[in-house]
Structure 1
């Protein structure tokens, strides 16, 4: 049979599914992606609201991600750089700290900052040097503890943990207590140290849009929700049955496959609120951290501090909330405005949009960096992809998609045609 004749279906047009399609195309296959929503991207999407470009959740790309460097054309993405530092709001005042080795203008404010002791700043340099030398593979073989315990064991003071590490990494891990694996902390910290945090000029959705534009032999079916996946059969919510020689499930599979229902992925949630305002309290492209432990707000960012294809007429403020709460949207907006005024001196805000992201990141333990193609395989015709297989990152989504596609290719090229087994 010609390679193009095989019916290979990918469930989910997120980053992992798009990478899987690209790998299959590279080997001469013509897959079909089935996506429930109206566009590609999965959890990596953007909207235009009142002339502003809004990412669904504050998201950045770390340029040092190995898989991103492999699969993305950074020049075409017109990446806008964030400075390697942060502005910290505490007791109604703000201070800026950062990595002066990569941005010399951050040297004086960092030295003058009262955030952390001199010993803490020395330990940060020590941590930078340690993780620069430590290979990624070694990081993911190190015994796990929590990020909080890791920082304490490294000797950081409670002050710098509270003022910097907790709000900064809570915004990345989407949980307020730094319970995330120390492996993930070391990996992300290393990635920050070796590259830059960037946002495409056309918003974060430019990443999956670019991956989609690279596909020439893949059919993409949008607005097609899948109800169930069996061997050699994909059943849509509207009852349509699609025959499939091989299927890659590049989304959470537990709801689609009957014998995986007890293996449902747990998810971290967050709220992202966008406001218009007249001026910026942080003029440079820096993330703002709220260090007070009693606030609902975790971090803020002005998307208008970088170039955008849809800049709007006024300044745009993005607010991230990672703490769990039970308040209504009206109460949430009012509470957010109150805290912004009290802790950051930001007022005269006009609310634009709230993104309540219930499945923002998978909650994982025993996280890994990579897996073999055979580890993505449920049986001879079903394969899994998605960052939930490895660790919660764009890099992991790409690796999982790649490995699932290679699993299909290996099965085909070894002559192991799918069985007619039913789950």
Structure 2
């Protein structure tokens, strides 16, 4: 089949779909991306409200992600670095801890902090050393247990688990009990140790926008919803039918494929509320953690502690809630404002935007780093991509897009070989 005549469609213009398209372009193909919304990005989007730059949920890019290093131009993204630490609010006090080996200003606060025992601090050094020597592939072949059980088995005290590990990793895993796989904990911990948490100066959506700008031979169909997919055809919700030699579904496929109807992806949800405040009580680019077990707030961050392309008149504070609740938007806002005052001494009177994010991260079992072709080709010529296929991370989204595209190319090569024989 001539490359110019080959019809390859990608459903979903999120990070995974954009990477898949780039890989196909690199091999001379001209894919078509079908996207239900008005722009690229999927769950990785940024809005401008009242001059403030608001990511849809508190998200960061870890510079140690292998796929990010492969596909992104960090310099062009103008990455703003977080300090490798956190400010912890507990019992009316505020303490900062971090990695003094990577940021010298955190040396004395960390050494003098009573968060965790001296033994805990030695165990952190031991964990750092262990994961430096462990490859990512090795991590994802280890037996799974919950992150909480992993920390207990490693010998960490209940104090440091409650005050640091729980609030910090709950904000990453979007669940409050550290029930997430230990594979994900080791992977994320290793990534934090090798690189930095960052945000592009223009917000998290700068990532998919950069990926889109790299595509020269791809056609986009925005505001186009897909109803179902089968071998060789794509049925749109408007009734139109598209012929497709190969299709990559880079979004939740359970509603699109008949053989996945009973395998609907489960999701973790969260709320992110953005407030305008007059002052900033954490002046450095550090995440604030709320360590009270009965608090609804998990973490806070002053986005005005880093540079941004668009900036409002005052300070911008994001608040993340990962615990389940049955509060209305107004009741949640009031509860969050009360907790900010009670636990942090923050007066946050002006709510800018409340994002309810029902599909923030996929809830997955048996987390993987790679998958064989037999598991991502669900029917002839139809391949799956997205972080739902591996693990809930930006790195996984990129990897799965690349993997799906490479499998399409392998299938094309095989069909060409068979036709010649």
Q: TM-score range by the shorter chain?
A: over 0.9
Q: Distance in 2 between matches of 1:383 and 1:59?
A: 27
The Cα shift of 1:374 comes to 4.6
Q: Distance in 1 between matches of 2:22 and 2:142?
A: 32
Closer, same or farther: CA 416–259 of 1 in aligned 2, 3 Å:
farther
> Does the CA contact (< 8 Å) of 1:373 and 1:406 recur in 2?
no
> Does the CA contact (< 8 Å) of 2:275 and 2:348 recur in 1?
no
Partner of 1:85: 85
Query: 1:22-421 counterparts in 2 under 5 A?
Result: 22-415=22-415
The Cα shift of 1:375 comes to 3.4
The Cα shift of 1:416 comes to 6.2
Q: Distance in 2 between matches of 1:4 and 1:217?
A: 11
Q: Distance in 1 between matches of 2:390 and 2:114?
A: 38
The Cα shift of 1:271 comes to 0.2
Partner of 1:421: none
> Does the CA contact (< 8 Å) of 1:164 and 1:291 recur in 2?
yes
Q: Distance in 1 between matches of 2:178 and 2:266?
A: 17
Partner of 1:2: 2
> Does the CA contact (< 8 Å) of 2:298 and 2:321 recur in 1?
yes
Q: Distance in 2 between matches of 1:364 and 1:336?
A: 29
After superposition, give the CA deviation of every residue in 1:181-236 in whole Å (9 maximum; x if it has no partner).
00000000000000000000000000000000000000011110111111111111
Q: Distance in 1 between matches of 2:116 and 2:164?
A: 8
**Structure 2: segments with no counterpart, 5+ residues:** none
Q: Distance in 2 between matches of 1:379 and 1:329?
A: 42
Q: Which runs of 4+ in 1 moved over 4 A?
A: none
Closer, same or farther: CA 210–312 of 1 in aligned 2, 3 Å:
same
Q: Distance in 2 between matches of 1:417 and 1:174?
A: 47
Q: Distance in 2 between matches of 1:160 and 1:416?
A: 58
Q: Distance in 1 between matches of 2:237 and 2:97?
A: 51
Number of residue pairs matched? Answer: 418
Q: Distance in 2 between matches of 1:383 and 1:67?
A: 20
Partner of 1:20: 20
The Cα shift of 1:348 comes to 4.3
Partner SS state of residue 87, structure 1? strand
Of 116-125 and 210-219, more deviation after overlay is shown by 116-125
Q: Distance in 2 between matches of 1:114 and 1:71?
A: 41
After superposition, give the CA deviation of every residue in 1:36-63 in whole Å (9 maximum; x if it has no partner).
0111000100000000000000000000
Q: Distance in 1 between matches of 2:30 and 2:263?
A: 31
Q: Distance in 1 between matches of 2:300 and 2:9?
A: 40
Q: Distance in 1 between matches of 2:416 and 2:203?
A: 42
The Cα shift of 1:373 comes to 4.0
The Cα shift of 1:137 comes to 1.0
Q: Distance in 2 between matches of 1:375 and 1:211?
A: 26
Q: TM-score, normalised by structure 1?
A: 0.97
**Structure 1: segments with no counterpart, 5+ residues:** 419-423
Q: Distance in 2 between matches of 1:159 and 1:374?
A: 45
After superposition, give the CA deviation of every residue in 1:275-328 in whole Å (9 maximum; x if it has no partner).
000111100000000000000000000111000001111100000000000010
